[in-house]
């Protein structure tokens, strides 16, 4: 590789819990890494605290990142670059050339994708952004405690998910209904089952969320119906970031039927030398601590693969 191109053991693309944990673990393995962190606001910017991480409960995502970099800078083996990665190109002689949006490039023996995914917020729903991350939530395990003992609604277009409103969230609320579109399959069956469980199904398109500074109190449907609710469990649709979509085409990076990057138990992807950890690999294990664990697993695999 040209001496004008910086060389690293690993380039980590993404500076969230997965990427930063991997950077810390690789540092402890005495690997030199580059963490490429997008300059744009992170997906968890609306979060008022990272929960479930022992010793860091209620610390904001920004506070977690700042502390992580103070620790990493103590060792001096991890470098931060605030930009995005445009491409990852395998080289004939081995390793990868990572092309960055700031016009620079880096060479690395291995690359770890820790980009997360993009949330696709519903368009045209007044009040959604103001309530998002506070009283409109995507995960009860992340912020259910802060919304406990309030009236909830589960926003669902899948009948099986709508049925969960009857029993699945009783740890946080005894008043949970489902709100679903008019064309949802098996709606009559879902409604009967929910009503038997003391819940209910309301159908219609959500047009507006009435709130006081992000504190939801009423959901308004397109037909004018108003429903008194204080918390919405509303997991938005998601998509992979542009880099991951590009690598699916250029490198044949394998993704599953739901669009998530396929990895083995050691976080290796279908491309030799390319690893992935965090939300881009799963729709279920979405907490910060699960992402951190995946980052640690990837770092261990990267280190031990280099011994052979």
Check residue 43 and give its pLDDT: 74
Check residue 308 and give its pLDDT: 64
Check residue 55 and give its pLDDT: 87
In angstroms, how far is the first alpha carbon of the chain from the final one?
Answer: 22
Half-sphere exposure of 96 (CA within 13 A, CB side): 28
What percent of the chain shows pLDDT beyond 70? 98
**192-212 tens-digit pLDDT:** 999 999 999 999 999 999 999
CB 255 within 8 A of CB 275: no
**pTM summary value:** 0.92
Query: Tokens 């029993």 correspond to what residue?
Result: 167
Going along the chain, which residue ranges are E strands? 7-13, 33-37, 78-82, 85-90, 96-100, 105-113, 117-120, 136-137, 152-155, 176-180, 201-203, 206-212, 215-221, 226-228, 231-233, 237-240, 274-276
pLDDT in tens, the chain (308 residues): 444 689 999 999 999 999 999 999 999 999 999 999 999 887 777 777 778 788 888 888 889 999 999 999 999 999 999 999 999 999 999 999 999 999 999 999 999 999 999 999 999 999 999 999 999 999 898 899 999 999 999 999 999 999 999 999 999 999 999 999 999 999 999 999 999 999 999 999 999 999 999 999 999 999 999 999 999 999 999 999 999 999 999 999 999 999 999 999 999 999 999 999 999 999 877 788 999 999 999 999 999 998 76
Check residue 52 and give its pLDDT: 78
Check residue 286 and give its pLDDT: 76
Check residue 63 and give its pLDDT: 92
Check residue 44 and give its pLDDT: 73
Check residue 4 and give its pLDDT: 66
């Amino acid at each position: 590789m040209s001496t004008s191109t910086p060389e690293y053991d690993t380039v980590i693309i993404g500076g969230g819990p997965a990427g930063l944990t991997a950077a810390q673990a690789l540092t402890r393995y005495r690997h030199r890494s580059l963490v490429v962190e997008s300059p744009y606001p992170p997906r968890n910017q609306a979060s008022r605290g990272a929960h479930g991480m022992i010793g860091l409960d209620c610390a904001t995502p920004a506070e977690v990142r700042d502390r992580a970099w103070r620790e990493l800078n103590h060792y001096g083996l991890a470098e931060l670059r605030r930009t995005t990665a445009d491409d990852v190109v395998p080289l004939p002689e081995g390793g990868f050339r990572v092309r960055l949006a700031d016009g620079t490039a880096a060479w690395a023996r291995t690359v770890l994708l820790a980009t997360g995914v993009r949330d696709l917020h519903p368009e045209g729903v007044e009040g959604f952004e103001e309530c998002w991350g506070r009283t409109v939530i995507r995960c009860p395990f992340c912020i259910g405690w802060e919304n406990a003992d309030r009236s909830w609604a589960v926003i669902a277009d899948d009948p099986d998910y709508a049925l969960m409103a009857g029993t699945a969230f009783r740890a946080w609320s005894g008043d949970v209904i489902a709100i679903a579109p008019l064309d949802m399959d098996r709606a009559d069956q879902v409604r009967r089952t929910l009503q038997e469980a003391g819940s209910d199904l309301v159908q219609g398109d959500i047009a507006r969320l009435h709130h006081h500074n992000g504190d939801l109190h009423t959901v308004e449907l397109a037909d004018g119906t108003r429903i008194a609710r204080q918390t919405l469990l509303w997991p938005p649709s998601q998509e992979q970031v542009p880099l991951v979509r590009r690598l699916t085409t250029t490198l044949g990076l394998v993704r599953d039927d739901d669009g998530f990057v396929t990895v083995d138990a050691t976080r290796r992807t279908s491309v030799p030398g390319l690893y992935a950890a965090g939300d881009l690999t799963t729709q279920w294990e979405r907490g910060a601590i699960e992402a951190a664990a995946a980052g640690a697993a990837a770092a261990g695999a990267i280190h031990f693969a280099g011994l052979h």
